[in-house]
Amino acid sequence: MFEILRTRLRQGSRTVPFPAEQPLPERFRGLPVLDRDAATEARDLPSALLTTGADGAARLDVGACLFCPEEAGPGPAGTVRFTSDYRLASSTREGLSTDGDVTERVQALNDAARRLFGRSLRLRSVVAGSCGGCEAELVALGNVVFDLARFGIQFVASPRHADGIVITGAYSRNMQVAVQSTYDATPAPKLVIAVGACAISGGPFRGSPEVGHSAPAGVPVDLWVPGCPPHPFTLLDGLLRLLGRLPERMAATAGSTANPVDSRAVGR
């Protein structure tokens, strides 16, 4: 017992404040932006990061971004580069498509939802054809450094105990039944959070006949968190913004459009 206490004293308290005070390392690849400077010839990207908007102008789809160095560089619309901004999440799939710079993209849940979930959110993880990387970062959220529990958020063992599900993976064929069952077993009102490039757009496996695309059909998503995998700060930022817990840049009265929770808290 004495040794345990002594070790704890030596280890010290290592929980980092959030929002983070220390910047991430120089090589960290955060939000991609498009500098519309000199155009160069087209090159093949290993992902669907660069898309074309309805007006024909180039756009970046952060939900399709794999955050690999090869995605950065010059092209016909300008130069793509990664910034150090770890704030990537959005309340809508469309919100992940940018015309090349930072926008406010996570809208906090409405008042009724915040009353239910704002200080106590229980989440159930569902993995549907992933590589395991996103889950590792979700697990890291629970360690003493990121300490998800200090925000009243924790992962639970059963969908019956959960307020929402966190889906990772590219939606493999063999998980169709399990994902649907887990969603159905979660009592309403409930949230759905899609984490990682795979859950948003298929990730590196985009195009394989063994995986689906974006979220399972018919299940509305409240929060989309890009990354491959998303850094724990990106996850924390997305979750806390959704709950309206980050003071700055909080949307006024906008509610999540995907799973509206009204004051009668009627299930879906």
Alpha-carbon separation of residue 78 from 23, 42, 136, 183, 199 (angstroms): 27, 10, 35, 42, 28
The verdict on 242 binding another protein (CB under 8 A) reads no
Of 5 and 54, nearer to another protein (C-beta) is 5
If one asks whether residue 131 binds another protein (CB under 8 A), the answer comes out as yes
Map the footprint of another protein across residues 160-199, applying CB under 8 A.
169-170, 172-175, 178, 182
C-alpha pair distances (Å), 241 with each of 24, 86, 250? 20, 13, 7
Q: C-alpha distances in angstroms, 101 versus 83, 98, 105?
A: 10, 6, 12
Residue 248 CB-density burial (10 A; 0-12 exposed, 13-18 middle, 19+ buried): exposed
Compute the least distance from the CB of residue 26 to another protein, in Å.
8
- Does 22 bind another protein (CB under 8 A)? Our answer is no
At its nearest, how many Å lie between another protein and the CB of residue 19?
18
Q: Map tokens 């130069």 to a residue.
A: 79
Among 158, 187, 249, 265, binds another protein (CB under 8 A): 158
Among residues 136, 149, 217, 266, which is the contact residue for another protein, using CB under 8 A?
136
Q: Any alpha helices (H) in the chain, and if so which ranges?
A: 2-11, 111-117, 133-141, 176-185, 197-201, 232-242
Q: Does 135 bind another protein (CB under 8 A)?
A: yes
Binding-residue total with another protein (CB under 8 A): 64
Instruction: Catalog residues that contact another protein under the rule CB under 8 A.
Output: 3-4, 7-8, 10-11, 14, 24-25, 27-29, 44, 46-47, 66-70, 82, 125-140, 142-145, 155, 157-159, 169-170, 172-175, 178, 182, 203-205, 207-211, 228-229, 231
